[in-house]
Amino acid sequence: MTDTPASATARVFRLLDYIADGGATANFSELARETGINRVTATRLLAELESLDIVTKRPGGGHRPGLRLLTLSALTLGGEDLTSVGRRVLESLSSELGLSAYLVILDGGHARYLLRSIPDRPLVSNISVGSRVPAHLTVPGRVLLAALDDAALRNVLGDEPFTAATTASPTTYAALAPLLDAARSEPVTWSQQGYEQGIDACAAAVPGPGGVPVAAISVAGPSTLFHESDLRDRTGRAVHSAAAALAAVVRPGEPPL
């Protein structure tokens, strides 16, 4: 029998309710039994919802709400702040990539790590919630510094040489300049072992009203993981999408990124 629009929509919402409640989607027999949606239809709906970023795959199997659904929810509810929405965005990002995810703001010349979501694997980064790190040392810090003009930059960073964390750390304005230029010209910015040995990171700015960054989203993981070009590409796209999702909440009514 052909689905009517009403019955097809009802199936989508039953499936979304099931996923939002933590229901398992890896076992299609269980999924069909719990939702009343046959296996073939459930498989098709999951694929369509995943392609639209309404749901996203968990690293260990199954699905969870995706960034697009989280953004729509936040915009509908209204009144939610950067951190409340950011927490859910980070959880989705960390789950999708299997990497540690952070929400970072600029605090003078430092990057302050407001929120963190970590995957179900051994923690490899020493950065914790509340950490305050010289901004030039970390990729989310440099993404935020890139929005400053030269006078403001020198005001917050002070005299060189800057503090170094690894051999890759910029310690002068001349060394920092090309890194900031790259952050201004690319949708996401990468760092190879710039703050912690053996750890690579990717970050994107979260523009607020007028396009001025209010925060940055970043992910970090073992450098060896990113030797796989597929993960590196997926990470860049996911970080950019996460930043865009947050930007849609903090700058309502403005064009999407």
CATH number of 68-250: 3.30.450.40
Residues 124-163 have pLDDT tens digits of: 666 888 888 999 999 999 999 999 888 889 989 999 999 9
Q: What's the confidence (pLDDT) of residue 235? A: 93
CATH architecture of 5-65: Orthogonal Bundle (1.10)
User: Torsions phi, psi of 240, nearest 5?
Assistant: -65, -40
pTM, 2 dp: 0.69
DSSP 80: -
Identify the pLDDT of residue 123. Answer: 59
Q: Mark residue 155 as left, alpha or beta (left: phi above 0; alpha: psi -120 to 50; beta: remaining).
A: alpha
Low-confidence residues in the chain, pLDDT < 50:
1-2, 77, 79, 253-257
Give residue 139's pLDDT: 94
The 8 Å CB, 24+ separation contacts for 125-133 are: 125/100, 125/196, 125/199, 125/220, 125/221, 126/196, 127/100, 127/102, 127/195, 127/196, 127/220, 132/107, 133/195
Rounded Cα gap, residues 138 and 115, in angstroms: 15
Domain boundaries, the chain: 5-65, 68-250
pLDDT at res. 192:
85
